[in-house]
Amino acid sequence: MLRGRDLVALADLSGEEILYLLETAQAMKEVLTRDIKKVPTLRGKTVVNLFFEPSTRTRTSFEIAGKRLSADVVNFSAATSSLTKGETLKDTARNIEAMVVDAVVVRHKASGAVRYLARELDVPVINAGDGSHEHPTQGLLDIFTIKERKGSVEGLKVAIAGDITHSRVARSDIHGLLKLGCQVVVVGPPTMVPPDVERLGVSVSSSVEEVLGEVDVVIMLRIQMERQSSPLFPSLREYSRYFGLNMEKLKDVSRDLLIMHPGPVNWGVELSPEVAYHPRNVILDQVTNGVAVRMAVLYALIGG
């Protein structure tokens, strides 16, 4: 269904294609429970991780995912590359492609950089997060985790709270969840919510406390300080008070609420440290599922 294509954005996929990737990820998750967590599916294929921005979860899990499928995985280091001598992004990517690789996984700080490379390269390009645009595999692993815990996603109500304007995760989650029949409410200070966000099909609230009682899932976001040119809120303390999650706010909510966060978490800002031990916190499940989802994406694009 997706063989040979790029994965730049969940906005580009149909609901059927998203469900296919989630089903494939379910099969991949079974592989990860075996004593020998490796299958020969991508033997002879080469995947290059081209990360121009820092990452812990995405880069490591793409590497593990490729290796679990027996692909050769190469991690490109921007800091020690010829980018430091002035080589362009396009030349860098085309030279990597000339080494006869099968897929490149790209993270870049500029929104649109991955779509640009996808047009320039013949091999499948997978978006590992571009600026404030999209982070499609994070969106897929978030939806996979919700589906795993809730049985299905259709009809669920999901809150996404925090720095919506600068969050590529928010955008991928919104596109993916809406395509699978969820309702989405975004929550944040007006300075961190795009004025036309309702055009995406979501509703808007300015109080985390207000939405907690009416949603099945809350996805908390990190404040993207690196993408803000000037401060968008008076202080971290004030932000945390109105838009953070703590045990006090959680004390009356449904036992079925899922608490999610893409990571890295600023403990004490968007989540109080005690929430790390809350029974409804599935943040590390998201990380575990990230490997299965990325195996599914690599298989779908370059397998066979």
Q: Which residues are catalytic?
A: 57-58, 85, 107, 135
- Burial class for 179, CB neighbours closer than 10 Å (0-12, 13-18, 19+): buried
The region of 17-25, 174-182, 250-258, 261-269 touching ligand CP under the rule CB under 6 A is: 261-269
For the chain, the distance separating the N- and C-terminal CA atoms, rounded to the nearest angstrom, is 11
Stretch that binds ligand CP, among 16-24, 55-63, 80-88, 108-116 (CB under 6 A): 55-63
Q: Pick from 19, 26, 32, 55: which binds ligand CP (CB under 6 A)?
A: 55
Among 49-57, 63-71, 94-102, 210-218, the segment contacting ligand CP (CB under 6 A):
49-57
58 part of the interface to ligand CP, by CB under 6 A: yes
Considering only residues 107 to 136 of the shown chain, the ones binding ligand CP according to CB under 6 A are 129, 135
SS3 192: helix
Considering only residues 262, 275, 293, 299, which one is a binding residue for ligand CP as defined by CB under 6 A? 262
From 50-58, 115-123, 179-187, 277-285, give the range in contact with ligand CP by CB under 6 A: 50-58
Min. distance of Cβ 64 from ligand CP in angstroms? 13
Q: Does 92 bind ligand CP (CB under 6 A)?
A: no
For the chain, give the longest Cα–Cα distance: 58
Q: Which is nearer to ligand CP, 6 or 53 (CB)?
A: 53
* Binds ligand CP by CB under 6 A, chosen from 5, 206, 263, 266: 263
Nearer to ligand CP, 18 or 128 (CB): 128
Q: Return the ∠ at Cα 61 (arms to 303 and 150), rounded to 5°.
A: 90
Q: List, in order, residues 6 or more apart from 3 with CB less than 8 Å away.
A: 300, 301, 302, 303, 304
Residue 56 or 88: which CB sits closer to ligand CP? 56
**Contacts of 258 by beta carbon, 8 Å cutoff, 6+ apart:** 145, 146, 149, 150, 216, 217, 218, 280, 282
Nearer to ligand CP, 137 or 272 (CB): 137
Please give the single-letter amino acid code of residue 273: P
- Is-contact 77 107, C-beta < 8 A? no
Closest of 132, 138, 134, 142 to residue 118, by C-alpha: 134
Q: Which of 14, 15, 56, 181 binds ligand CP (CB under 6 A)?
A: 56
Contact 157, 216 (CB under 8 A): yes
- Binds ligand CP (CB under 6 A): choice among 5, 57, 94, 227: 57
What is the nearest approach in angstroms of ligand CP to the Cβ of residue 56?
4
Nearest CB to ligand CP, comparing residues 55 and 205: 55
Least Å distance, CB 54 to ligand CP, is: 7
Q: Say if CB 185 and CB 208 are below 8 A apart.
A: no
CA 226, CA 199: separation in Å to the nearest integer?
Answer: 26
Nearest to 249 by CA among 218, 224, 223: 218
Where does this chain bind ligand CP (CB under 6 A)? 55-58, 129, 135, 138, 262-264
